[in-house]
Structure 1
Amino acid sequence: MPSIHEFTTWEPLLRLLHAQHAERLAVPGGYVTGQISRGGWSVPLRRKSPPPGRAAQIEDMQDEYDAVERVRTALADSGLAAISFVTEAAPAGGAVLHLLEPGPAVEPGIGGPYPGSILLVEDAVAEPWRRLPEPVDGAAPDPAADPALLERTLRERLPDAIGATEAEIAAVEDRLGIPLPEELKVLYRVTRARREDWGSKYEKADQVFDAVGCELFSLDGLYIADASSRRCPWQFAAMEAVVTPPDAAVQGVVGSPGWIVFGDNGGGDRLAVDLTPGPRGHTGQIILLSHEENIGAELLAASLTGLVLDGESEGEGRRHRREQPAVAHVNIRGVSSVQAAAHPALEVLSIGVWEGEPVSLAPVVGLPRLRTLSAYPGTLADPLEITELKGLEYLKLGPEEWRVLLDADAVPRSMLAAGITVHGERHPLPVADLADELLALWDRPGITRTTAEGSL
């Protein structure tokens, strides 16, 4: 198999692209671009519509599928997660292919050829991922938690289950570095939930689901849902804020050393025992970590006893989504102005699509907690006002705004990561050049480029 950098690897895909976009590529400066990753691809090819009444199938796009799979195989062989490409018409006929590899200091773009977040400081994570739960004075188990009743109930529901030994439980505690709460120990003393214990009797797994209320992990499958277990691209992570109101049962953190995951709801959401509850919560309460959320959790039951005996209770929502004061979205449908967003607690300011005059950042200068600014291209009256924001960790701007800061040698050096917002269609190579300029300021490795040319 040719390597990912060889023209022959891409030739079938380039034939399709150049055939469909012949007029565009014939114009001086014309190009076609896309992205391919191990998990999917985004290439500008028109597909045939399936016959009426039938869903689209691979056969309807077989040429595209085969051409892309050739590239994805080479991508996997190279050890790369994703690659972007630009193709142009060669002066003497054929095609020119430009390949862009993000490298270790750039996250892959999402659904397009442009770079994702630019990682200026190695291994740095967004502020919410550095936050630990706050100690809560007086936190205690729910009064209705009853390990003895829990054990009797589970043994009645699972009379033939094989339970874990005390040595097996102790080994898990050593691995996790934390003692298991008594209710969780009781659960695994009744059943260790190992697939090999059930053999081919799949109804045994259904019995456990019905008895406990979730797809129970085996004892060896328990893990701590700390912040590192909840990975998130910088461009989303930087826009989050940890908020735990005084009446919250669950702390609004990304993860906690006291969240012990023990099961799944069958839809990809994880159940955990919470040993670090919010101000109105209970130690040992059961929470749900949604796979669609980056931060926070939903209260399911005040205890494992309550979950098993009574099922899910009416708990609080997954998050206390308060746009203000910690996070403000200034746009035509959100917060009305930067002035209205200004608050001592403001951490994240996003300036989106705006119909009025470009805005000034003067109202938020000096705010002690402001760490993220994302401004849609053309929305800032004076990009150099950014130099007055002393605590920025993440800054996302359009290419023109970045150009102003770079030319003035005014890029904030407090940043840990950065992003480039591309409005409309732009040639990816100048955008990659801009990303490399930012990376060079921190002596970080740039985007790798490869150019190949061949006949079609």
Structure 2
Amino acid sequence: MPPAARTAVEGIQRALAGGGVGEVAFRAEVRPDGSTVLGLVWPSPAVEPAMGYPDLGVLLLNDGALTEPWLRRPDPVPGAVPAPSADPELLERTLRERLPGAVGATEEEIAAAEARLGVTLSDELKTLYRVVRVDWHDDFEAVIDAGRAVGCELSGLDGLFGIDGTVRHPGWDIGARQSLGTGPDDAVQGLAGSPGWIAIGSNGGDTYAVDLTPGPAGHLGQVILIDHEQSLGAELVADSLTDFVLGRRREESPGLRRDEAPAVARVGTGFLRTVEAAAHPALEVLTIDPADGPPLTLAPLTALPRLRTLTAAPGTLADPREVAALTALEFLELGTREWRTLLDAGAVPRTLKAAAITVRDQDHLPVVALANEILTLRNRPRIDQTLLEGDLGPAR
């Protein structure tokens, strides 16, 4: 960056910082005669910044609303049983051999932890804490020894918690386009979190949990890993806590069942050719890209019970008003003309939690006005914009 440009940018950064503004979107038009128009779009509590939306971001139509997968609860597992390798007696002997001086928790303390968590701990997990109390505020060396004996940075009994899927939400820009399911051969349910995923420790970044709500092919009390770089799902690490402590861990685990047909589909050049081909009762996320041929009808989608995300490129819909018939829609991204049609027809779905406007080489000021119309429908805070006009003089 040339020194003059760097100086100008630093001046703008100082001015924004002085006003308590972390970021601002802008568009400048400088004509050959020097007349200049600068449009500024200020941050809004109703807009979530997102990559791919250079001027606006995602419009949040409800406070605190999250995408459905991050609210999903585990399916009941009444028939789930511990793995054949689960052996509380072997687990206790192993831990006492490794930690001969350890002092464990009392039965009353274990019962109090179960009451706080709202779950019944597995026999193996109770055995672990009967041997090892773990107090990070008391004896750090004992904590280190316990971690080495178990195989992770072990949490104390009072530090156990269920994984809350809502805190893993990555934002609507990413979350609305993702899907994760559970198949009949899956050991771990496809979730963002579960009250039955009891976090017991970490590897310094990722979280180990004992799984009390396993998938159809899993076992009660299996050990799973929640990757801090992932926002959905967990990986099976060991069939039992006994296996985990004895080092009998799985080297490979089946990949997460995410972003797969029929739950996620794409129509357009290089993908499916028709909306009919994407229509399936399990469809959750549909993207319609530009393609050769006439605009498409959404009629085949109207009876789908799980379709929550629709992204349609400008000019790809034969009648944008058909969006109103999609009764489960949470997130909608359309071009400016399509949004204009919906607004004029009073056809913006009431089920929407978030929305986005596709911007392609457009002046952002009219787009902001359109966004404010959408926000006004839900009594959401409007986006503030400032228009500055001046004369920089003729180019030299």
Letter in 2 for 1:346: L
What displacement does 1:64 show?
A: 8.7
C-alpha RMSD of matched pairs (Å): 3.5
1:231 aligns with 2:172: no
User: What's 1:392 paired with?
Assistant: 329
What displacement does 1:94 show?
A: 9.8
User: What's 1:342 paired with?
Assistant: 279
The superposition leaves residues 289-346 of structure 1 with CA deviations (integer Å, 9 ceiling, x where unpaired) of 2223322221111111111113321564341236222221224343343221111222
1:182 aligns with 2:123: yes
User: What's 1:280 paired with?
Assistant: 217
Matches within 5 A, 1:38-187: 70=14, 74=18, 78=20, 82-86=22-26, 88=28, 98-103=40-45, 105-110=46-51, 113-161=54-102, 163-166=104-107, 168-187=109-128
For the 8 Å contact 1:101–1:449, the answer to whether it is kept is no
The superposition leaves residues 206-257 of structure 1 with CA deviations (integer Å, 9 ceiling, x where unpaired) of x544432323234443221132232231233222334211121111122211
1:411 aligns with 2:348: yes
User: C-alpha separation between the residues in 1 aligned to 2:16 and 2:120?
Assistant: 45
**Cα–Cα, structure 1 residues 427 and 169, in superposed 2: closer, same or farther, change >3 Å?**
farther
SS in 2 for 1:258: strand
Matches within 5 A, 1:364-403: 364-403=301-340
User: C-alpha separation between the residues in 1 aligned to 2:37 and 2:345?
Assistant: 38
SS in 1 for 2:219: coil
User: C-alpha separation between the residues in 1 aligned to 2:247 and 2:266?
Assistant: 40
The superposition leaves residues 166-216 of structure 1 with CA deviations (integer Å, 9 ceiling, x where unpaired) of 5554444343333433322333344444444455x6x973x5444323232
1:216 aligns with 2:154: yes
SS in 1 for 2:83: coil
SS in 1 for 2:47: coil
The superposition leaves residues 382-427 of structure 1 with CA deviations (integer Å, 9 ceiling, x where unpaired) of 323323323322211122221222233222223222122223x433
Q: If the length of structure 1 is used for normalisation, what is the TM-score?
A: 0.74
SS in 2 for 1:173: helix
SS in 2 for 1:367: coil
What displacement does 1:350 show?
A: 1.5
Within the candidate set 376, 380, 388, 1:440 is matched to: 376
Shifted more, 124-133 versus 313-322: the winner is 313-322
User: C-alpha separation between the residues in 2 aligned to 1:374 and 1:250?
Assistant: 30
What displacement does 1:355 show?
A: 5.0
User: What's 1:358 paired with?
Assistant: 295
Letter in 2 for 1:296: G
Letter in 1 for 2:95: L
**Cα–Cα, structure 1 residues 454 and 208, in superposed 2: closer, same or farther, change >3 Å?**
farther
Within the candidate set 245, 257, 264, 2:183 is matched to: 245
Shifted more, 284-293 versus 158-167: the winner is 158-167
Letter in 1 for 2:350: R
SS in 2 for 1:244: coil
**Cα–Cα, structure 1 residues 323 and 64, in superposed 2: closer, same or farther, change >3 Å?**
farther
**Cα–Cα, structure 1 residues 123 and 148, in superposed 2: closer, same or farther, change >3 Å?**
same
Task: List gaps (5 residues or longer) in structure 1.
Answer: 1-15, 21-44, 46-62
1:429 aligns with 2:371: no
For the 8 Å contact 1:226–1:254, the answer to whether it is kept is yes
Matches within 5 A, 1:255-294: 255-266=193-204, 268-294=205-231
For the 8 Å contact 1:249–1:316, the answer to whether it is kept is no
SS in 1 for 2:246: helix
For the 8 Å contact 1:390–1:414, the answer to whether it is kept is yes
**Cα–Cα, structure 1 residues 273 and 216, in superposed 2: closer, same or farther, change >3 Å?**
same
User: C-alpha separation between the residues in 1 aligned to 2:128 and 2:60?
Assistant: 43
User: C-alpha separation between the residues in 2 aligned to 1:133 and 1:409?
Assistant: 37
SS in 2 for 1:328: strand
For the 8 Å contact 1:141–1:303, the answer to whether it is kept is yes
**Cα–Cα, structure 1 residues 204 and 455, in superposed 2: closer, same or farther, change >3 Å?**
farther
SS in 2 for 1:384: helix
User: C-alpha separation between the residues in 1 aligned to 2:320 and 2:344?
Assistant: 12
For the 8 Å contact 1:263–1:272, the answer to whether it is kept is yes
The superposition leaves residues 106-132 of structure 1 with CA deviations (integer Å, 9 ceiling, x where unpaired) of 222337643332222333332223321
Task: List gaps (5 residues or longer) in structure 2.
Answer: none
For the 8 Å contact 2:180–2:258, the answer to whether it is kept is no
Give the percent of matched residue pairs that are identical in Structure 1 and Structure 2. 50
**Cα–Cα, structure 1 residues 432 and 291, in superposed 2: closer, same or farther, change >3 Å?**
farther
User: C-alpha separation between the residues in 1 aligned to 2:42 and 2:82?
Assistant: 54
**Cα–Cα, structure 1 residues 135 and 209, in superposed 2: closer, same or farther, change >3 Å?**
same
What displacement does 1:440 show?
A: 0.7
User: C-alpha separation between the residues in 2 aligned to 1:454 and 1:261?
Assistant: 59
**Cα–Cα, structure 1 residues 356 and 67, in superposed 2: closer, same or farther, change >3 Å?**
farther
Q: If the length of structure 2 is used for normalisation, what is the TM-score?
A: 0.84
